[in-house]
Structure 1
């Protein structure tokens, strides 16, 4: 009796990983732009991947390809929000200005950025509602924000050397004061405007408040 020869079963072909899109950077950037708006408007729990994909013009698979899941997308959107905010400081040449005009320019630009980008304010507020849980997952965040303090350290040192700034000004405290005065004008604009009958979004109110904030900061640091 002849033994029956059994051929080994052929292996199923391996699935190839999804290729990266041709316009990889552009697609990722578009997804982040929409995600920042959605997360700032609806929060982490309220934002929907389906809606972000539809608004972006990409499919859900592309979002998962880049970011893994909704939490990963939120973390990336948070990182991008801080990165964009800090990029405004890269164009400054404050060392070319005397200390007081330099600080005036820095405070004014910071105030304007907050007013022009309410989505950044809402992203920060959302993350604080989460007790900073997700910001801890951004290993680059401290490095992104460190130059802001370095900028103020150099500015304060020059101001002290020239005798126009107090020697006891802490750059971190100064940064906090600038941020707080700029942040509040946006974060509380709806409640404040209703309670006190002053439209914080009006151009004339914005301009007056901007000068007041600059004046407060300069009075705080002046010798």
Structure 2
């Protein structure tokens, strides 16, 4: 009958395999207890859990989880890295830690139903993480929205300038044309007055001319002047 502690280990590893987005496998021989604790913290910060288990129990858990092909990687002092969501961040953490601690070796992994060899698992660390991709996407979206806002705002600004120009032009027309409009009636009123004055002057001169004509004739008779004849 299986021991309860071994059953608990198998169940825990099986749960980690089935509930994780990906699983990475490492060899840890040569790491101290302090270094192992440091590695656990860094992986936890990257959204992963580090689990050490005997290969016999890990193989049984892989079979129970329907991942029989994973058994080929379960040899030597193996520890499993259960990635809750993004396997890239944990892979980056493993690669950075292995750089300072050569005793840590990345053996491979399991992602999307496929077994990853050592090279493929290490390449995950060279990919952009979820946070980096989200940051890039946010930057692209912000740039697109900013460009759209500028495109939408440009016609409005042009229309606003055009309307303001029309308002300014209309205001100047009112100012310059208003006096002319006010002077027009005054000029119309002055025209009849001038015509009446001219008519009065002509009427006054007409009797004077008629009075001068008889006087001229009387003077001619007194002097005896006669018009010269053709003879």
Give the TM-score taking structure 1 as reference length: 0.23
The structure having more radius of gyration, on CA atoms, is: 2
Give the TM-score taking structure 2 as reference length: 0.23
